[in-house]
Amino acid sequence: MSELRQEAEAMAEQFSDHLEVDPAEIESRLENLVDEYRVPLEEARRSVTNSYLDDAGLDRDELAPGGATRVQVADIDEDEQWVDLRVTLVDLWEPRSDSIAQVGLLGDESGTIKFVAFETSDLPALSEGQSYALSNVVTDEYEGRYSVKLNRTTQITELDESIEVGDDADTVEGALVDIQSGSGLIKRCPEDDCTRVLQNGRCSEHGQVDGTFDLRIKGVLDDGETVTEVIFDREATEQLTGTTLEEAKDLAMDALDTTVVAEEMADDVLGRYYRVTGPTFGRYVLVDEFEEPGPVDVESALIEARSI
Ligand SMILES: [Zn+2]
């Protein structure tokens, strides 16, 4: 859906209690102003809104502020719906494309959902841990998974209260059969609101920077039937390997090589059996907690199975 189309649908929704307006008509009026006359979108929006207000004999304040419906993230089960959310920013991820300003995980009492904000929408950056009221975000669906897209019409309000994030954690287990590249001692961009992992000292957004060290393990758990990719953040990695960030830095310093850290960690943990719990995103489970249940006792499992 084009941005003007999104805008048009949001506007049609705003008028829906008062006027029957076709989003396609709004879109073409916006298009005319924006593309033909180079009017800034915000102004075009105001002008088109005013003309519909005149048609309907309405005052601006009689319009619904957003027109989107307030929902909880777990209720999102339809594509291309305009919704309002009250959420906490749980996690920011590294954008895979230059067109994406921010991508990460939002949560409310009902669970968590991925969000994407695009560069073109020119929105203020959201910070991890902060709670927000987001109005006018659009739902999206990909391979059965839902996400929300922030857009130019999205209104972002910082909340003083903190929105509790519900537990929609998954538990998976298996032998840690692989540690992927980008594990061990990594460097992240130190710029405000940018936590991108550096490649050869470069941030894809900010170029050459003095990175800040971080630890993580991107691993693969295999239970014999399914493989699951999991990410241990710094805290979980320190707990898992018994190596702190400071020790990892010393190791790398001694070896004049950061890759030794991932290698040493692999020696410690590869092949061991873990049960991990955390929110799922896409193909990853983000590890909040883990335990090492020890090898499964095959014999007693069989005895139990026979007795059923
Ligand atoms: Zn950066």
> What angle, rounded to 10 degrees, do the helices at 41-56 and 23-31 form?
130
Tokens for 35, please give them.
């593309």
- pLDDT per position as a tens digit, 78-115: 888 889 999 999 989 888 888 999 999 999 988 889 99
Q: What separation in Å is there between the alpha carbon of 206 and the centre of ligand 1?
A: 4
Q: What separation in Å is there between the alpha carbon of 95 and the centre of ligand 1?
A: 10
Task: Give the pLDDT confidence score for residue 234 in this predicted structure.
Answer: 94
- pLDDT per position as a tens digit, 245-304: 999 999 999 999 989 999 999 999 999 999 999 877 667 888 989 999 865 555 555 565
Task: Give the pLDDT confidence score for residue 308 in this predicted structure.
Answer: 55
Task: Give the pLDDT confidence score for residue 64 in this predicted structure.
Answer: 56
Q: What separation in Å is there between the alpha carbon of 115 and the centre of ligand 1?
A: 19
Q: What separation in Å is there between the alpha carbon of 105 and the centre of ligand 1?
A: 19
- Phi, psi (degrees; rounded to nearest 5) at 195: -125, 20
Mean per-residue pLDDT, 139-166: 88
Average pLDDT, the chain: 87
Sign of the alpha-carbon torsion through 38, 39, 44, 50: negative
- pLDDT per position as a tens digit, 117-142: 999 888 999 999 999 999 989 999 88
Q: In whole angstroms, how far apart are CA 222 and each of 57, 78, 225? A: 64, 32, 7
In terms of pLDDT, which residue wins out, 14 or 227? Answer: 227
Q: What separation in Å is there between the alpha carbon of 208 and the centre of ligand 1?
A: 9
Give strand pairing partners of 133: 86, 157
